[in-house]
Chain A
Amino acid sequence: MSVATANRLTPYLFLAPALVILLGALVYPIIYVIYASFLDWNPSQRIGEASFVGLRNYAKLLSDAAFLESLRVTLAFAAIVVSVEMVLGVGLALLLDRNMKGLTVLRTVFILPMMIAPIVVGLMWRYMYHPTIGIFNRTLNSLGLEPVPWLSDSSWAFAAVIIADVWQWTPFIFILSLAALQSLPKSALEAARIDGARGWQAILYIKLPLMLPVLIVTMLLRLIDAFKVLEVILVMTNGGPGLSTEILSLRINRTASEFRALGEAAAMSNILLLVLMALTLAMFLYTKASEARSRRLAAAQEPAT
């Protein structure tokens, strides 16, 4: 081997350990799960003892009412929380994007929920939703109102987990929107004021369109996260009552540990994985497209004068 070839290979040599770890930690489990989804496998068996059933796990899922319900709950949950969080987060950012005393403190307070461990958030909300000693029902009680069955009624429970998620993740959208707002071209906003735009017109016609690329990526990131949510709901309702809050990750967990159907659980995981990959791909394509666009624009302005 010549020195030149050796030189060319050196970087790859340095990258090799990382690549091995990546293969071991990422690719191996994925292949494992894909393989497992073709098996009829229960936890008392070693994987080698499980019988191969082909696509039967997937076929079964498509006609499994509980799984379909869980998929529906997950989609509804993700759609609702992300919509609400987007509106609240962007709204708050628009409201707090100004230089006022005390705002720095306020902004810091706003992002605290995001930094709390999900398990803790779940526990906290469970106590607050407690039917008798929770702060909500105590408050309602002291106002002379009927208590609300926060976690024991299926509609209320669904609302309750949405509220908790909105509380925890609105700050994420808030800080990203705020950062986007503060990087907007100041003079274009001033030009809009001179051109006669009122506050809301500047928001509608200038700020939001200019923030759009960041908002789209933020929304996709949040969607990906909302599909994977687990701990908070696990602690608060464990999927109940009934199947009302049983989002996919809980269903997967239950299928594996309670129903002892590892193959089916693996198939579900793969379906979730497909959804997430579609979202990630959408985000990737969007970023690529907007990068290509700005490159094209940059190229277009070079020659002419």
Chain B
Amino acid sequence: MPDIRIENLRKAYGDVAVIEDLNLCMADGEFTVLVGPSGCGKSTTLRMIAGLESCTGGAILIGGRDVTRLEPRERDLAMVFQDYALYPHMNVAKNMSFALRLARYPKAEIDRRVREVAETLDLTAYLARKPAELSGGQRQRVAMGRALVRDAGTFLFDEPLSNLDAKLRGHMRAELALMSRRIRKNMIYVTHDQVEAMTLGDRIVVMRHGKIMQAGPPAELYRKPANRFVAGFIGSPTMNFLKGELVEEDGRLRVDGAGFSIPLPAERAARLQGSARRAVEVGIRPSGFTPADGPDALQLPVILAEYLGTQSIVMSEMGGARVTIELMGSEPIATGGTRMFRIEDKDVHLFDIETEQAL
């Protein structure tokens, strides 16, 4: 199982640059998720790795071998497509065994592998059916099976779950996580859904406009977003963003905004040295609001409360701006009235107004 390196990868359609100078390293056996809004170039990147799309510049190395100009079949990879891309004229068994038959595996070996994979994917009863005779979920599993049978070094997935309904998607996501743990291959998974990214990825690569905004383990992206975009993209419900200002008083730094004032701890202040009187964007996750009493607690209105069972999502207002607050607890929260909250300084993310970089 090889590691994959992408160096200065570029892709342009005519004059339009879609991918600009992409650098990425994927360790052996790692589950990498490319995530980003629609049109940010995830599929294009994946398809260049697959060899389905030519590279305008840069290089792709799999296990140290430069595959930039090689045909897909020379790259030892399997792929699951968003629309499954099954062969409509072949039955499930034939679909799954196509690659093996092309590679002239012995018939007994082909049968064994197909049966084995069909077993794990619950497809045994459907081996003789054509794709048109299957439901969406079954087709999805056939697409997975076709990739698994190959036993390739690298697995590529382009939004494989996005055509399923929500319930099935959740189920398949879990199956996929289990499967990836079991087979431990290189996996590169493209999705626009940050929940999928968070739950599946060993490492998440957040992309925007053909550039990598941040790459790292899920927890790192959640706790230390490198910029405003990643902060807003990762995490559900979305982070609240408020206008604020860094103020230094009596040698202590704090961030002030309409309706709040949060003191910053000394070590953070040291990093922000000389930034006083500077306008910043303040990011607070919905989970960053903790119920509290006391004189310096914030009193916030409950405009709307969505009860979800183990938590409630409260829509509130802070200095004229809408904020979302996540409250744990199985007690429903009444709409109307106010509640008291405290914001811990560790839950406060600061971003430069201009560069959007984290401060």
Contact = CB atoms under 8 A, between A and B. Distances in A.
Contact of A194 (B50, B89, B130, B137): B50
A293 to B, nearest CB: 9
Interface residues of A, number: 24
B355 interface: no
Given A188-B88, A190-B85, A210-B89, A304 B135 contact: yes
A301 B98 contact: no
B102 A191 contact: no
Given A201-B102, A300-B132, A301-B135, A192 B87 contact: yes
A195 B102 contact: yes
A28 B52 CA distance: 60
A17 interface: no
Main secondary structure of the interface of A (DSSP, over half): helix
A210 B86 CA distance: 12
Contacts of B266: none
A69 B266 CA distance: 107
B20 to A, nearest CB: 24
Contact of A192 (B98, B132, B136, B168): B98
A188 B133 contact: no
A209 B333 CA distance: 61
Contacts of B130: 297
B72 interface: yes
Nearest to A298: B132
B81 interface: yes
A78 B71 CA distance: 42
A159 interface: no
Contact of B85 (A188, A294, A304): A188
Contacts of A33: none
A201 B103 CA distance: 11
Interface residues of B, number: 33
B61 to A, nearest CB: 19
B140 to A, nearest CB: 11
Interface string B38-68: 0000000000001110000000000000000
B349 interface: no
Given A194-B73, A195-B150, A298-B132, A205 B98 contact: yes
Interface string B86-101: 1111000000001100
Contacts of A187: 81-85
A102 interface: no
B79 A210 contact: no
Contacts of B137: 305
A202 B13 CA distance: 26
Nearest to B168: A305
Contact of B99 (A196, A206, A301): A196
B71 A193 contact: yes
A198 B89 contact: no
Contacts of B23: none
Contacts of A191: 79, 81, 85-87, 146
B87 A301 contact: no
A193 B83 contact: no
Contacts of A300: 132-133
B138 interface: yes
B78 interface: yes
B334 interface: no
B128 interface: no
B308 interface: no
A197 interface: yes
Given A196-B103, A305-B136, A188 B86 contact: yes
Contacts of A209: 89
A144 interface: no
B132 A297 contact: yes
Nearest to A209: B89
Given A191-B85, A300-B133, A305-B135, A197 B52 contact: no
Nearest to A305: B135
B79 to A, nearest CB: 5
Contacts of B86: 188, 191
Contacts of A190: 52, 81, 85
B167 to A, nearest CB: 10
A207 to B, nearest CB: 11
B77 interface: yes
B292 interface: no
Interface in B85-126: 85-89, 98-99, 102-103
Nearest to B156: A194
A195 B105 CA distance: 13
B313 to A, nearest CB: 30
A194 B133 contact: no
A193 B51 CA distance: 9
A185 interface: yes
B98 A195 contact: yes
A205 B102 CA distance: 10
Contacts of A294: 132
A300 B91 CA distance: 14
B303 interface: no
A196 B87 contact: no
Given A187-B81, A305-B135, 9 more contacts: A188-B87, A188-B88, A190-B81, A191-B79, A191-B81, A192-B98, A193-B52, A196-B102, A304-B135
12 contacts: A185-B85, A191-B86, A192-B87, A193-B51, A193-B71, A195-B150, A196-B73, A196-B103, A197-B102, A301-B132, A301-B135, A305-B135
